[in-house]
Amino acid sequence: MLKNQWVSDVSQAGPVLAVIGHSIRRPFMSNTHLQSAGAKFRAAVAAEQPLQVVGAITAYAAKMAQAVGFKAVYLSGGGVAANSLGIPDLGISTMEDVLIDANRITNATDLPLLVDIDTGWGGAFNIARTVRSFINAGVAAVHLEDQVGQKRCGHRPGKEVVPIDEMVDRVKAAVDARTDDQFVIMARTDAAAAEGIDSAIERAVAYVEAGADMIFPEAMKTLDDYRRFKAAVKVPILANLTEFGSTPLFTVDELREANVDIALYCCGAYRAMNKAALNFYETLRRDGTQKAAVPTMQTRAELYDFLGYHEYERKLDELFAQGKK
């Protein structure tokens, strides 16, 4: 049974499951009114222009994103490499590495999750296995890119792309593998840096013809670039607003005017988290105490609030109070 066929209203699953929330769900067999993860993502894209999708490198980060009102979250392949494995984003991490973190996020929140699957981790059968694995993990959408297998970060020099026919075959393999027709296959093109914007648009059109639901033109430099892509592909397009990259940090109003459908903030949260952690380590090592860093920390009360900690405790007390009398 697919993970996206699980009850999202856990209050129907009894008192214990209701408290534990989206970490424990029960399957259903006949409720056709519940949306799949992919359907939720499509609905979110249709409802908010541009849809702000924020990177969530941990399950806890995803819960915070949901609490402040975001409607979708993202798992970066480079983020998994750096934060979970401590390695650079150079095509070293595996499908299983990313799948572990994706599972943790989909178990913690019912927000639709978009996942970076790099080049799909192999040929047609590998790509098919990748797509099915992420559908089964409750993921809503994946983006698949046209770089060579030994890929680089999308905002670094020296990128190489595969021939257009090879990427078309990747897209076809991904689309054919879907077990949920609402699951989103997004094609990313890195060709603008290597071949120019006209070639990148030509590629994107071919990817849509091959079945891609949405297009991710990487490392665009102007709003007009996005306008040209949208006019050509006529499907939702994504702008990756990564800090310290090639794309200016456009506002949502600017992106809306350029007909961008999704504004992705892939790495900002974990960059801020990592800077805060480094500040803590440096302060503690320098001062011999963490006192100076305490004002920058999330409090215990805030942590517990996002986790629903006290609800868990109350349920434990209710369940086991009789045994303590």
Annotated binding site for Mg(2+): 116, 118
CB 225 within 8 A of CB 197: yes
Catalytic one among 152, 170, 178, 188?
Answer: 188
How far is residue 163's CA from residue 167's CA, in Å, rounded to a whole number? 7
Active site residue 145: yes
218 is catalytic: yes
Q: For residue 152, what are the CA distances in angstroms to 124, 145, 146, 149, 195?
A: 21, 11, 11, 9, 16
Active site residue 310: no
From the candidates 25, 48, 89, 207, give the one annotated as an active-site residue. Answer: 89
Q: Check 42, 143, 170, 228 and give the catalytic one.
A: 143
Residue 171 DSSP code: H
Catalytic member of 101, 110, 145, 225: 145
Residue type, 236: P
In sequence order, the 6+-apart residues with CB closer than 8 A to the CB of 282 are none
- CB of 217 closer than 8 Å to CB of 241: no
Of the CA atoms within 13 Å of residue 197, those in its CB half-sphere come to: 13
**Phi-psi category of 234—alpha, beta or left, where left has phi over 0 and alpha has psi -120 to 50?**
left
User: Helix, strand, coil proportions of the chain in percent (round to 5)?
Assistant: 50, 10, 35
- Annotated binding site: which residue ranges? 76-78, 116, 118, 153-154, 188, 218, 240-242, 271, 300
Identify the CA nearest to 2 among candidates 188, 131, 160, 156: 131
Q: Which of 110, 180, 213, 218 is catalytic?
A: 218
Exactly one of 116, 180, 213, 225 is catalytic; name it.
116
d(CA 176, CA 127) in angstroms, rounded, equals: 10
Catalytic residue among 4, 22, 42, 74: 74
Does the annotation mark 89 as catalytic?
yes
The annotated binding site for substrate is made up of: 76-78, 153-154, 188, 218, 240-242, 271, 300
Catalytic residue among 240, 261, 266, 267: 240
Tokens representing residue 64 in the block:
């915070």
Q: Which of 25, 48, 101, 153 is catalytic?
A: 153
Catalytic residues: 74, 89, 116, 118, 143, 145, 153, 188, 218, 240
